[in-house]
Amino acid sequence: MNPLYLLRRHWVWLAILVIMLAAPFLFYDWSRGRHSGFALTLMSEMALMAVFALSYNMLMGQAGLLSFGHAILFGIGAYFTAHTLNWVKANDIMWLPAELIPLAGGVGGLCCGIVAGYVATQQRSTAFAMITLGLGELFAAAALMFMTFFGGEGGITTNRVIHSSIFGVAYSSAWQVYCLLIAWSMFAAILMYLLTQTPLGRIANATRDNYERTQFVGYNPRVVRYWQFILAGFFAGIAGALYTLVYEIVTFDTLAAVKSANALLAAFIGGGGGFFGPILGAVVVVGLQSGVSLFTSAWLLYLGVLFIVMVMYAPGGLIGIIGLHAPIARMGRLGELMVPYLRALVPTVVGGAGFVAVVELATHRTIGAAQGKKLSLFAMPVDSSSLWPWAIAVVLAVAGALWLRAEGRQFRLRWNALIEDAKARGIGV
């Protein structure tokens, strides 16, 4: 195979790799000559969440199984890794290179998948979801109660610097760990991608589409679910291991409901239908949680609004939106959407600014002012107790919304015309 062909076929992977390697340098502190620890940690979090969300999507997107307890696999993987690291460190074990430590997490997740999966995969659909909810609560509660393995509230602390690296790297700096993380998350993601191309992966799709029919082509859906759960456990465990490497502490929070919810959100916002959706989703969710929360305490509200809007207008997730453009792009007429997009963007910005301003004014009035914060919106200091900012914000929000509605209609006409055209030319939708 010639390299050009490989590039054409696998450009997405290459693009992801390049972005992951290059992105930290956007935040590089040239004056001090060091990486931004925050940016590196945030990107590490994105990478490991992407692995976790992909693993989640092995159940949700690919096998149609909604899980509320996926974090138990993640958490157990993380604890396994922490214990392994401590064991390696305590006994100076040299035959286990630092680079292979995440495998311990994978094994942990796998074991947990074998046990928890055996119970959960007895059922499908809502019953499955509810069993995972119950298991999730039980594991989280157990993690607080049993000190020996889970270390209680303080969790298990560990040190990733174990000096058994094949490459002689200490992994003390965030950048070194980030590189290891890139390697492992790429490796895990590619493996998960390949899994979708195997008989098990396809049959998992089949049980998602039509669970009954699968039985009559010779497959036991329960076995399919079980295998899929175990394998998802392996990858969730690896994600957990990466978590341990980044933070060097594992607490019960790693297997609590919030973590499970995050995986669900990432997978859904990114889009469970395609393979790459959850990666995108993880980036967005982590960005919102750790990025936007720096600036406003109302980030949960924004997150809520984002869900509602996404669910109502883009149930296919971000990847779904991109996918909708495929037929138009194939016709080579994507350019024709440029102007409508720009026209829609203006009222979006206006309305969005209004909405954000209203929310921020309100939070500042009720919470922020008392905390002694000075409110400034869009780099302008604003007095939330006077009437004007409110009036402007409300007007912006309402006007933006109305304008957007009108513009949306126009946009839809244009869009539908293009899609019709694509259909007429026989380009699959």
Partner 1 sequence: MEVFVVSLLNGLVYGMLLFMLASGLTLIFSMMGVLNFAHASVYMLGAYFAYTISLYLGFWPALILAPILCGLLGAAIEMYGLRQVHRHGHIPELLFTFGLALIIEKVVQMTWGMVAVPYRIPDGLDFSLFTIYGTQFPAYRAFMLLISALMFAAIWLGLTRTRIGLIIQASLTHPDMVGALGHNVPRVFTIVFAAGTALAGLAGVIGGNYRVTEPGMAFSMGPIVFVVVVFGGLGSLTGCFIASIIMGLIQTFAVVLDYSLADLLELVGIVVTKATPGAEFLTVSLPRIGALLPFILLVLILVLRPRGLMGTRDT
Partner 2 sequence: MSDAAIQLTDVRKSFGRTEIIRGVNLTIPKGQRHAIIGPNGAGKTTLFNLISGRFPISSGTITVNGRNTAGLTPPQINHLGLSRSFQVTSIFPRMTVFENIRCGLLWSRGYKYSFWNLLGSQRALNEASDALLERLNLHSRRNRPAGLLSYAEQRALEIGITIAGGANVILLDEPTAGMSHSETEYAQHLIRTVSEGKTLLMVEHDMSVVFGLADVITVLVYGEVIASDAPANIRSNRAVQQAYLGEEAA
Partner 3 sequence: MRFGRTIISAVAAGFVAVAALAAQAQAQPTIKIAYTDPLSGPFAQTGDSNLKQMQYVIDYINAKGGALGRKFELVPFDNKSQPSDALIALKNATDQNMPFIMQCSGSNIAAALIEGVNKHNDRNPDNRIIYLNCGAVATELTNEQCSFWHFRFDLNVAQKAEVMVKALPKSTTKVYLLNQDYLFGQSVQRDVKKFLAKNRPDIQVVGDELIPLGKVQDFSPYITKIKASGAQALLTANWGPDMNLLIKAGIESGIDLAYYTFYAHLTGGATAIGPGGEGKVRSVMSFGENVAPAIGNAEAEAFTKGFRAKHNFDFAGAVYRTIFEHVAAAINKAGSVDPTKIAFAMEDQKMKDFLGYDTWMRKDDHQIMSAYYVGVFKKGVKYDAEGTGLGWEVAATILEPDVVQPTTCKMKRPRS
Q: Is 397 in the site for partner 1 (CB under 8 A)?
A: no
Cα–Cα nearest to 76, from 138, 124, 119: 138
| Residue among 36, 41, 86, 210 that touches partner 2 (CB under 8 A) | 210
In the complex, minimum distance from the CB of residue 12 to partner 1, in angstroms, rounded to a whole number? 25
Q: Give the per-residue SS3 of the chain.
A: CCHHHHHHHHHHHHHHHHHHHHHHHHCCECCCCECCHHHHHHHHHHHHHHHHHHHHHHHHHHHCCCCCCCHHHHHHHHHHHHHHHHHHHHHCCCCCCHHHHHHHHHHHHHHHHHHHHHHHCCCCHHHHHHHHHHHHHHHHHHHHHCHHHHCHHHCEECCCCCCCCCCCCCCCCHHHHHHHHHHHHHHHHHHHHHHHCCHHHHHHHHHHHCHHHHHCCCCCHHHHHHHHHHHHHHHHHHHHHHHHHHHCEECHHHHCHHHHHHHHHHHHHHCCCCCCHHHHHHHHHHHHHHHHHHCCCCHHHHHHHHHHHHHHHCCCHHHHHHHHCHHHHHHCCHHHHHHHHHHHHHHHHHHHHHHHHHHHHHHHHHHHHHHCCCCEECCEECCCCCHHHHHHHHHHHHHHHHHHHHHHHHHHHHHHHHHHHHHHCCCCC
Window 362-391: residues binding partner 1 (CB under 8 A): 362-363, 366-367
Q: Is 126 in the site for partner 1 (CB under 8 A)?
A: yes
Q: Which is nearer to partner 2, 224 or 256 (CB)?
A: 224
Cβ atoms < 10 Å from Cβ of 109: 33
Window 146-165: residues binding partner 1 (CB under 8 A): 146-148
Two tokens at 252?
Answer: 């019960």
Q: Which option in partner 2, partner 1, partner 3, none does residue 363 bind, with CB closer than 5 to 8 A by kind?
A: partner 1
Q: Which option in partner 1, partner 2, partner 3, none does residue 296 bind, with CB closer than 5 to 8 A by kind?
A: partner 3
| Residue among 12, 14, 127, 406 that touches partner 1 (CB under 8 A) | 127
Question: Taking CB under 8 A as the rule, which mask of x and - marks residues 260-299 in contact with partner 2?
Answer: -------------x--------------------------
Number of residues that bind partner 1 (CB under 8 A): 44
Two tokens at 70?
Answer: 């996926």
Q: Which is nearer to partner 2, 101 or 231 (CB)?
A: 231
Q: Which option in partner 2, partner 3, partner 1, none does residue 379 bind, with CB closer than 5 to 8 A by kind?
A: partner 3
Q: Which option in partner 3, partner 1, partner 2, none does residue 144 bind, with CB closer than 5 to 8 A by kind?
A: partner 3
Q: Is 201 in the site for partner 2 (CB under 8 A)?
A: yes
In the complex, minimum distance from the CB of residue 391 to partner 3, in angstroms, rounded to a whole number? 19
Q: Which is nearer to partner 2, 111 or 284 (CB)?
A: 111
Q: Which is nearer to partner 2, 213 or 333 (CB)?
A: 213
Question: Taking CB under 8 A as the rule, which mask of x and - marks residues 156-195 in contact with partner 2?
Answer: --------------------------------------xx
Q: Which option in partner 1, partner 3, partner 2, none does residue 330 bind, with CB closer than 5 to 8 A by kind?
A: none
The residues binding partner 2 (CB under 8 A) are 194-195, 197-203, 205-206, 208-210, 212-220, 223-224, 227, 231, 273, 428
The residues binding partner 1 (CB under 8 A) are 60, 66, 119, 122-123, 125-127, 129-131, 133-135, 137-138, 141, 145-148, 257, 261, 264-265, 268, 272, 298, 300-301, 303-308, 310-312, 315, 362-363, 366-367
